[in-house]
Amino acid sequence: MSTQNPVVRRPLDKLLDPKSVAIIGASDNHARIGGRPLYYLLNGSFEGAVYPVNANRETVQGVKAYKSILDVPGPVDAVVIAVPAEVVVQTVEDCATKGVGAAVIFSSGFAEQDERGAAWQAQLTEISNRTGIRLLGPNCLGTFNAKTGWLATFTTSVEQYPVQPGPIAIASQSGAFGSHLYTVAAKRGIRCTYWVTTGNESDVELSECIAYYAQSDEVKVIAVYAEGVRNGPGLRDALALAYKNNKPVIFQKVGRSGAGAEAAASHTASLAGSDAVYEALFRQYGVFRVDSIEELLDIALACQAGAMPKGNKIGLMTISGGAGVQMADTAEACGLDVSPMPEDQQKYLKELIPFAGVRNPVDITAQALNDLSLIKKFMESMLDEGGYDAVVAFFTVVAGSKMLSEKLIETLRDIRIKYADVPMILSIVAPEDIVRNYEAEGYTILEDPARAVRAAAALIHFGTAFERGLGTPPPALPSNAQRAPEGIVGEAEARNILASAGIPMAGTRLATTKEEAVAAWKSIGGPTAMKIVSPEILHKTEIGGVKLGVDGAEAVADAFEAIMAAGKQHHPSANLQGVIVSEMVSGGVLGVINDPVFGPAVMFGLGGVFVEVLGDVTFRLAPFGLDEAHRMINEIKGIKMLYGARGAAPADIDALADALVKLSVFADANADRFSSIDINPFIVKEKGAVAVDALIVPVGQETGH
Amino acid sequence: MSTQNPVVRRPLDKLLDPKSVAIIGASDNHARIGGRPLYYLLNGSFEGAVYPVNANRETVQGVKAYKSILDVPGPVDAVVIAVPAEVVVQTVEDCATKGVGAAVIFSSGFAEQDERGAAWQAQLTEISNRTGIRLLGPNCLGTFNAKTGWLATFTTSVEQYPVQPGPIAIASQSGAFGSHLYTVAAKRGIRCTYWVTTGNESDVELSECIAYYAQSDEVKVIAVYAEGVRNGPGLRDALALAYKNNKPVIFQKVGRSGAGAEAAASHTASLAGSDAVYEALFRQYGVFRVDSIEELLDIALACQAGAMPKGNKIGLMTISGGAGVQMADTAEACGLDVSPMPEDQQKYLKELIPFAGVRNPVDITAQALNDLSLIKKFMESMLDEGGYDAVVAFFTVVAGSKMLSEKLIETLRDIRIKYADVPMILSIVAPEDIVRNYEAEGYTILEDPARAVRAAAALIHFGTAFERGLGTPPPALPSNAQRAPEGIVGEAEARNILASAGIPMAGTRLATTKEEAVAAWKSIGGPTAMKIVSPEILHKTEIGGVKLGVDGAEAVADAFEAIMAAGKQHHPSANLQGVIVSEMVSGGVLGVINDPVFGPAVMFGLGGVFVEVLGDVTFRLAPFGLDEAHRMINEIKGIKMLYGARGAAPADIDALADALVKLSVFADANADRFSSIDINPFIVKEKGAVAVDALIVPVGQETGH
């Protein structure tokens, strides 16, 4: 699949917004797969022409049927195909001949089943590429457009919960999961204009749906379920587009764990990128990653209300001190700022209700529910003077009654309108109709106070992510930068290449005799690291080609000879250039992995136990600029080390960020030439930073020192 | 409040299971605080005598009223007090005179309000201690016993959701929160026999309720909400009792975060122990800590079904591959074992449904729902041959219809009965009545698949925690063990004291001259740590009394003189005993903090960045035995270091565990004599382990080196 122009290869309009449609394999029985979409189209709001195609019947569900798509008189924008796998290829070929724009293929029995099916699926891809017809599936549950009534699906969920246009759009690879997602979303009053399940992705893939949503005026919020995409750059471009258009993307990417990834592999056989690289991608484009459907829907519901604050300051109101404490815990765990109310306001509020909690959480006590004007005064104080970016309030069953809910809505209406850009999420236990009343006024209702706070945190995540922008762009590669090598090169050459790309390199001494090694040790004035230099020897440690902490003239001379002897013994024909003698230092680790799906991802971690024992590393897709590099550095758990923990001087983090940026630019420019790059250690000093060691592993070679 | 015999000070039977009751401040108006409990008692299932007490009326709610509790003719086990704060003390005194066993005090205006209120509350405590009357509250929402209809509460939640006896018991400090908890629990079909809110805890405190529940045959599951307890040993004993009786305790302890703790302090002014110590306590007694009400209720619901497996192996069944992947992710995140099905069974299942996923998750595909006998065969294979300890199945809306749910229940009935001890949690979207049908058959229904897996993990947590037992008991303190010092002592004495308690101590050399220091350096043969010895000097580093990594005769001699000079300069009158010269080593850190609520808690962490930068430490309440020490050690994130990461030899973890146990025994025996103990570093070698340095800070002194 080409990754050129990955976002808008060919438009999806005919697939998602057709004016005339046909059902191939249309059934008279509403309950059958070929009967349901026809039934939905004929009995729903779809206004375009609908043609049943069935070789054996004159009419289907009371409508004239055609023997073949080729017999249909008018133009056909899109078809649904519900015929056995064996005849799908010919059917699609006929559709292309007819000039059909898009086909939704329900049929299963393709790549998910056996080799014969995989071959058929390859033929479908070929027809699509050759003729331009867009194909959804095969082996998918279809799609719908709630605005036009285009219900090209056989899920019964749309009977149980009729589709309603709204700000949410769903894209799911899995059909059953997508159907479940729609059902629970609709049950909770979440309104989806678009819903697509991509199934086997013979042609249309998830990232194209995301890009379509990102450019649709109807869509305000994008919810995605994926097990792993095939086209990494396409997903990156689609997410960048959504970011640019300030559309929040809520992404459930499963297969995070070992067991999950194994299950995903056996389920889809998709070439999934490394989970760490997805994580990097999501961080770069402000995507909110969720681990459960429920969390996805909580956030979609909160986004549906429309406000995404640009600040991090949360105001908590409660009628139970206990719930207030819990909300404060959750807010802090989400990284929110639970700043107290201004002192003068605390005094003012204490005068209104003497037993109230007036810091933040603000505990209005049960008294405020007997006199709602008090709630109004408290809320005004929190918004006018407290300056909170979002408010979460715990009102439990008390505000769930019909009478009190109506009064409360009325009392707060002016404030709700005045602060339309401040999300107000209420933790209320109420029947569905009362929940809908609150929602109509712009509140989000989540029964559980912890979930309410987490949803507010997600809104703040989006608002602040859009506010900050993508930051400084990556610089150009220096014009004199060398390319990554085609074959294996020694450390010295790797160092030269990376230095030409602007990455600072420590001066080291190449010793070709033991006398030169001792001289190098003397000039360093302390323990040294000694390492063999030879382009042919990759696994240096394993053969005894590395000695660390060598100190003293005699020890250095002995080490030189031992290292050279080990080189000769294990690689008799290798070109032994000598031994590098360098300062013994510890520091960070920079690296690049070249992900098969997404391309180069730059890694950063602190050295020693941080990487090796704790796995404390973070990634970003290359290339990126300085702002992103700083965000990356600040994600490390051991970050305190760089700011001068344990009595050390603060490190030059700007120099580190600069090196990460330059490494990302180099990696991007050489994406087709290497499989990994490893810079270990990378020393971040009080002033400046340098790489001590470097390894570039060409494509097709495995990593190793 | 005494901590002697903290669990069963005086029984709670009269409070929680009275046979005759009075309402003091009884109101004719059902809606008033003094009217509601009377109304509930008169119109509910309570069978004992009910006496309204009201000085101004002949009858209340149609029942003869008494002027005073002293006028009531028969015996009175318990009363509800709903009178103004001003008259509560006299009312309670009258009750004690009358011989009333317990009083539930709704009235507010005590310690939570002002000093006058605090004084009244102290009088209540005094009356209770003197006369033996048990007092719940003041400032509480009361209690109920669903079995007897004793509804001593004014929450309207019990009108909306009438109480139903069942296996759950709730104890909450907060009234409003407890009321919310009951409401959402009842709404979800969770049946509670007991519910207590403790309010200001003038007498009855949370841990006594837990202990009562732990000993009640009716109660199978204990759900607790707390902001912080006053009586740490009481809570420990209550949790130990629950553990001993295999009663799962689900505990929401709020105030975990800084913001939360601040809110809790301003809300309750309770003397809350350190959150890390609560965490230690919960781990020791198999308590499951939750961060949200929803999680608490999910687990309570799952526990209500009754099965708590002894093994960790989870079987996942799904009709959507995607949901299967997500469940596998969640299961692995919860530490569960997602082992695959046996090979022969995989083959057998593939024959039944060729497109099925047959490892684990087992994806039965939509086909199995058309032929339910297939689900039965799959489930049998998973239980008979797969040997899973718990099963979670994702059936979504499909199994939520009336027809299919009845068929599914019927199909699986034999298996459900045969494997009654295997929890089966189904992720199903269904109306409430259908959910109840499933529950009646022993299934737990949780709509969200991630929550279903997490609930299964909680059941496994309890089952395995009860199965493992509390492990080896702590040993006795050696008979020749010295006591902790009363005043400040030098390091040498601290080392001797701890050595007498069985904690291994490294040999070090006390040098009183620079020549002795150099001799010590020579015998060590490498870099040394040098530290001043003086009982009067606690903050050694700050005054220049510590030098690390000193190597070479001249350097050691210079360091000796510099250290002694620094000691003299900063503490002219101090007794300078010399300088300790020891090997430069890094290792673990052992310590003890003496928590004001819970007493001594032993800390363990790895040295260096693990403790200082990452805060990677864990605690246990003293004393404990070897099994607990091993569990503690294995919680450390950097545990790989001890098993030989980064080329190091594996450390003698048994020796480390032994030292932790002995430190815990010493700390317990000296709980009244020290504020903290610090052993840093504690070196764990390939064989054996030794403490190099030791500090014991007496009560009333702050910690410092």
- Report the complex ipTM: 0.83
pLDDT digits (tens, 9 = 90+) for A412-463: 999 999 999 999 999 999 999 999 999 999 999 999 999 999 999 999 999 9
Distance, CA of A123 to CA of A116 (rounded, Å): 11
Q: Identify the pLDDT of residue B237.
A: 94
Chain B closest-CA separation from residue A268 CA (Å): 8
> What CATH architecture is A510-576?
2-Layer Sandwich (3.30)
A2's tokens: 């080409």
Q: Identify the pLDDT of residue B263.
A: 67
More confident residue, B136 or A267: B136
Query: What is the helix (H) or strand (E) element at residue A213, kind and residue range?
Result: helix A206-214
Q: Identify the pLDDT of residue A195.
A: 98
Distance, CA of A468 to CA of A109 (rounded, Å): 47
Q: Any CB–CB contact under 8 A between B363 and chain A? A: yes
Alpha helices, H only, B132-172: 157-160
Asked if the Cβ–Cβ distance from A447 to B267 is below 8 Å, we say no
Q: Picking from A449-463, A525-539, B149-163, which range would have the lowest pLDDT averaged per residue? A: A525-539
Question: Sorting pLDDT into bands at 50, 70 and 90, what band is B20?
Answer: very high
Q: What are phi and psi of A143, to 5 degrees?
A: -150, 160
CB contact residues (below 8 A), chain A span 614-643, against chain B: 614, 637-638, 640-641
Distance, CA of A496 to CA of B637 (rounded, Å): 38
CB contact residues (below 8 A), chain A span 47-106, against chain B: none
In terms of DSSP bridges, do strands B546-550 and B588-595 run parallel, antiparallel, or are they unpaired?
Answer: unpaired
Q: Identify the pLDDT of residue A702.
A: 54
Distance, CA of A590 to CA of A587 (rounded, Å): 10
Q: Which residues of A touch B361 (CB under 8 A)?
A: 263
Q: What is the DSSP string of A628-688?
A: HHHHHHHT-GGGGGTTTGGGPPPP-HHHHHHHHHHHHHHHHHTTTTEEEEEEEEEEE-SS-
Please name the residues in contact with A649: beta carbons below 8 A apart, sequence gap of 6 or more.
A686
Q: Identify the pLDDT of residue B266.
A: 55
Chain A closest-CA separation from residue B124 CA (Å): 21
* Mean pLDDT, chain B, whole residue set: 89
The answer to whether the Cα torsion of B682, B683, B684, B688 is positive or negative is negative
Distance, CA of B619 to CA of B580 (rounded, Å): 30
Distance, CA of B230 to CA of B598 (rounded, Å): 9
| The pLDDT of residue A584 is above 90 | no
Q: Identify the pLDDT of residue B273.
A: 60
Across residues A150-162, what is the average pLDDT? 93
Nearest 5°: CA angle at B56, between B52 and B62?
Answer: 45
Q: Which residues of B touch A552 (CB under 8 A)?
A: none
Residue type at B266 in one-letter notation: S
Residue of B nearest to A108 (CA): B355
| The pLDDT of residue B575 is above 80 | yes
Neighbours of A586 (CB within 10 A): 9
Instruction: Say how many residues make up chain B.
Output: 705
Q: Picking from A126-130, A298-302, A684-688, B429-433, which range would have the lowest pLDDT averaged per residue? A: A684-688
Chain B closest-CA separation from residue A641 CA (Å): 7
Across residues A625-641, what is the average pLDDT? 89
Question: Sorting pLDDT into bands at 50, 70 and 90, what band is A5?
Answer: very low
Q: Please report, for residues A502, A582, A628, A688, the alpha-carbon distance to residue A652 in angstroms, rounded to integers and kept in the order given.
A: 17, 21, 17, 6
Across residues A387-403, what is the average pLDDT? 93
Across residues A643-663, what is the average pLDDT? 82
Question: Sorting pLDDT into bands at 50, 70 and 90, what band is A471?
Answer: confident
- Which residue do the tokens 């290869």 mark? A9
**Percent of all residues in chain B with a pLDDT value above 70, rounded to a whole number:** 94
Asked if the Cβ–Cβ distance from A646 to B397 is below 8 Å, we say no
Using only C-alpha atoms, what is the Rg of chain A?
31
Q: Any CB–CB contact under 8 A between A263 and chain B? A: yes
Beta partners for residue A603, in sequence order:
A591, A619
Q: Any CB–CB contact under 8 A between B282 and chain A? A: no
- Which residue do the tokens 């090196």 mark? A659
| The pLDDT of residue A226 is above 80 | yes
Across residues B395-416, what is the average pLDDT? 93
A532's tokens: 């063999």
Question: Sorting pLDDT into bands at 50, 70 and 90, what band is A703?
Answer: very low
**Percent of all residues in chain A with a pLDDT value above 70, rounded to a whole number:** 94
Q: Identify the pLDDT of residue A540.
A: 77
**Which residue among B322, B359, B638 sits closest to A609, beta carbon to beta carbon?**
B638
What beta strand segments (E) does A198-318 contain? 221-226, 249-253, 288-289, 314-318
Please name the residues in contact with A516: beta carbons below 8 A apart, sequence gap of 6 or more.
A509, A510, A578
CATH 3.30.1490.20 range(s) for chain B read 510-576
Residue A492 burial by Cβ neighbours in a 10 Å radius (0-12, 13-18, 19+): middle
Q: Which fold has domain A13-303?
A: Rossmann fold (3.40.50)
Q: Picking from A646-655, B233-242, B273-282, B695-704, which range would have the lowest pLDDT averaged per residue? A: B695-704
Beta partners for residue A583, in sequence order:
A528
Q: Identify the pLDDT of residue B264.
A: 65
Between the two ends of chain A, the Cα-to-Cα distance in Å is: 34
CATH 3.30.470.20 range(s) for chain B read 588-698
More confident residue, A267 or B464: B464
**Which residue among A257, A266, A330 sits closest to B359, beta carbon to beta carbon?**
A266
Q: Any CB–CB contact under 8 A between B333 and chain A? A: yes
Q: Identify the pLDDT of residue B256.
A: 78
Q: Any CB–CB contact under 8 A between B27 and chain A? A: no
**Which residue among A178, A259, A292 sits closest to B331, beta carbon to beta carbon?**
A259
Question: Sorting pLDDT into bands at 50, 70 and 90, what band is B189?
Answer: very high
Whether the Cβ atoms of residue A142 and residue A197 lie closer than 8 Å to each other: yes
Beta partners for residue B684, in sequence order:
B689
Q: Identify the pLDDT of residue B319.
A: 92
Question: Sorting pLDDT into bands at 50, 70 and 90, what band is A334?
Answer: very high
Q: Identify the pLDDT of residue B703.
A: 44
Q: Picking from A544-553, A565-574, B114-123, B292-301, which range would have the lowest pLDDT averaged per residue? A: A544-553
Question: Sorting pLDDT into bands at 50, 70 and 90, what band is A1?
Answer: very low
Distance, CA of A70 to CA of A49 (rounded, Å): 16
| The pLDDT of residue A3 is above 60 | no
Across residues B672-694, what is the average pLDDT? 83
In terms of DSSP bridges, do strands A390-394 and A314-318 run parallel, antiparallel, or are they unpaired?
Answer: parallel
Q: What are phi and psi of B11, to 5 degrees?
A: -65, 155
A308-468: CATH homologous superfamily? Succinyl-CoA synthetase domains (3.40.50.261)
| The pLDDT of residue A311 is above 80 | yes
Asked if the Cβ–Cβ distance from A321 to B366 is below 8 Å, we say no
Q: A193-207, A273-287, B469-483, B635-649 — which one is most confidently predicted on average? A: A193-207
Backbone conformation region of residue A265, classed left if phi is above 0, alpha if psi is from -120 to 50, else beta:
alpha
Across residues B506-523, what is the average pLDDT? 84
Backbone conformation region of residue B5, classed left if phi is above 0, alpha if psi is from -120 to 50, else beta:
left
Asked if the Cβ–Cβ distance from B183 to A225 is below 8 Å, we say no
Asked if the Cβ–Cβ distance from A397 to B322 is below 8 Å, we say no
Q: Any CB–CB contact under 8 A between B673 and chain A? A: no
Q: What is the DSSP string of B590-631?
A: EEEEEETTTEEEEEEEETTHHHHTT--EEEEESS--HHHHHH
| The pLDDT of residue B10 is above 70 | no
Q: Identify the pLDDT of residue B701.
A: 67
Q: In chain A, what are the helix, strand and coil shares in percent, each to the nearest 5? A: 40, 20, 40
Beta partners for residue A253, in sequence order:
A226
Distance, CA of B114 to CA of A160 (rounded, Å): 57
Q: Which three-class secondary structure string do you get for A266-288?
A: HHHCCCCCCHHHHHHHHHHCCCE
Asked if the Cβ–Cβ distance from A614 to B608 is below 8 Å, we say no
Question: Sorting pLDDT into bands at 50, 70 and 90, what band is B4?
Answer: very low
| The pLDDT of residue B702 is above 60 | no
Beta partners for residue A391, in sequence order:
A315, A424
CB contact residues (below 8 A), chain A span 388-407, against chain B: 396-397
Asked if the Cβ–Cβ distance from A609 to B260 is below 8 Å, we say no
**Percent of all residues in chain A with a pLDDT value above 90, rounded to a whole number:** 63
Q: Any CB–CB contact under 8 A between B450 and chain A? A: yes
Distance, CA of A12 to CA of A203 (rounded, Å): 11
Choose from A278, A325, A367 for mutation: most chain B CBs within 10 A: A325
CATH 3.40.50.261 range(s) for chain A read 13-303, 308-468
Question: Sorting pLDDT into bands at 50, 70 and 90, what band is B704?
Answer: very low
What beta strand segments (E) does A322-431 contain? 362-363, 390-394, 424-427
Q: Which residues of B touch A180 (CB under 8 A)?
A: 320, 323, 396-397, 429
Across residues A274-301, what is the average pLDDT? 93
Distance, CA of B421 to CA of B612 (rounded, Å): 45
Q: Which residues of A touch B292 (CB under 8 A)?
A: 326, 330, 448-451
Nearest 5°: CA angle at A105, between A101 and A106?
Answer: 150
Collapsing DSSP states into helix, strand and coil, what is residue A292?
Answer: coil
Distance, CA of B493 to CA of A337 (rounded, Å): 47
Across residues B33-56, what is the average pLDDT? 96
More confident residue, B49 or A591: B49
Distance, CA of B77 to CA of B16 (rounded, Å): 10
Whether the Cβ atoms of residue A22 and residue A53 lie closer than 8 Å to each other: yes
Across residues A158-173, what is the average pLDDT? 95
Whether the Cβ atoms of residue B638 and residue A614 lie closer than 8 Å to each other: yes
Alpha helices, H only, B23-65: 36-43
**Which residue among B252, B321, B396 sits closest to A180, beta carbon to beta carbon?**
B396
Q: Identify the pLDDT of residue B3.
A: 37
Q: Identify the pLDDT of residue A327.
A: 95
- Which residue do the tokens 């302090």 mark? B265
Residue type at B499 in one-letter notation: A
**Which residue among B264, B323, B448 sits closest to A177, beta carbon to beta carbon?**
B323
Q: Please report, for residues A328, A675, B539, the alpha-carbon distance to residue A667 in angstroms, rounded to integers and kept in the order given.
A: 43, 10, 51
Distance, CA of B230 to CA of B154 (rounded, Å): 26
Among A220, A215, A162, A153, smallest CA distance to A186 is for A162
More confident residue, B682 or A434: A434
- CB pairs below 8 Å between A and B: how many? 246
Across residues A228-241, what is the average pLDDT? 91
Residue B8 burial by Cβ neighbours in a 10 Å radius (0-12, 13-18, 19+): middle
CATH code: domain A588-698 is 3.30.470.20
Across residues A607-628, what is the average pLDDT? 83
What's the gap between Cα A540 and its chain centre? Answer: 38
